[in-house]
Chain A
């Protein structure tokens, strides 16, 4: 499973766009990129998943360059409630997906 590297923490202000980049230099051909969000005292919550180019849902966008060695989670107009830890995971979906969590990025949104 590919190792991921993310910033340990980030600060932002309400209403700003936040971009969290994850490096995964050893990503394999069959690997997908998945992002989870975790609030204190809760389990992780799925945000978005992608393989290449751009994926967008009602919560976030995921940008993946052509070489797929990195990905960027984009959160538009964050609010205080977006303060959480964000995990980038990379792995093969087929035959089961042994999810490996790294240290994550602690995002702190200030008023």
Chain B
């Protein structure tokens, strides 16, 4: 069974540009989560999808971040325009149910904004 995959693994962009991160969850997992770790800080929750609906987006830092999950399969996280403080590692995770059981994490996308 394939795990959670994320693309790209690394992205280097300039301040003011746009970047779109993609996450493919494990097939059949309705729950999809985005997290990020900015430089030297802890991993922080961004949002949670149940199928295509946003269940909880309380962790999204501001309106420069837009997450979508059309069709309830893969998800994208767009940062527009990117700022220096957006640099970090963005993780995606998926789980089979919403009961907080085991979440399967992807390897992350390392975003560097210069």
Interface presence of B87 (CB below 8 A): no
Q: Within the assembled complex, what's the spacing in Å between the Cα atoms of A75 and B101? A: 21
Q: Smallest CB-CB separation from A98: which chain B residue?
A: B45
Answer whether A49 and B102 are a contact pair too, CB < 8 Å, given A43-B93, A96-B31, A101-B44.
Answer: yes
Which residues of B (33-79) have their CB < 8 Å from a CB of A? 33, 35, 42-45, 48, 50, 55-56, 58-59
Answer whether A44 and B98 are a contact pair too, CB < 8 Å, given A98-B48, A102-B42.
Answer: no
Residues in A with CB closer than 8 Å to B103 are 44, 46, 97, 99
A95 close to B98 (CB less than 8 A): yes
Q: How far is the CB of A46 from chain B (nearest CB, A)?
A: 4
Task: Please report the total number of B residues contacting A with Cβ < 8 Å.
Answer: 28
Interface presence of A41 (CB below 8 A): yes
Q: How far is the CB of A8 from chain B (nearest CB, A)?
A: 12
A44 close to B100 (CB less than 8 A): no
B105 close to A43 (CB less than 8 A): yes
Q: How far is the CB of A5 from chain B (nearest CB, A)?
A: 13
Residues in B with CB closer than 8 Å to A14 are none
On B, residues with C-beta under 8 Å from A are 4, 31, 33, 35, 42-45, 48, 50, 55-56, 58-59, 91-93, 98-108
| Binding-face segment, A21-29, A58-66, A86-94 | A86-94
B42 close to A103 (CB less than 8 A): yes
Residues in B with CB closer than 8 Å to A97 are 98-101, 103
Classify the secondary structure of A's interface with B.
Answer: loop
Q: How far is the CB of A71 from chain B (nearest CB, A)?
A: 16
Residues in B with CB closer than 8 Å to A99 are 33, 35, 45, 93, 100, 103
Q: Smallest CB-CB separation from B55: which chain A residue?
A: A96
Q: Smallest CB-CB separation from A87: which chain B residue?
A: B43
Q: Within the assembled complex, what's the spacing in Å between the Cα atoms of A102 and B37? A: 11
Q: How far is the CB of A12 from chain B (nearest CB, A)?
A: 23
A96 close to B98 (CB less than 8 A): yes
Interface presence of A81 (CB below 8 A): no
Q: Within the assembled complex, what's the spacing in Å between the Cα atoms of A101 and B102? A: 14
Residues in B with CB closer than 8 Å to A91 are 100
Answer whether A101 and B42 are a contact pair too, CB < 8 Å, given A43-B91, A43-B93.
Answer: yes
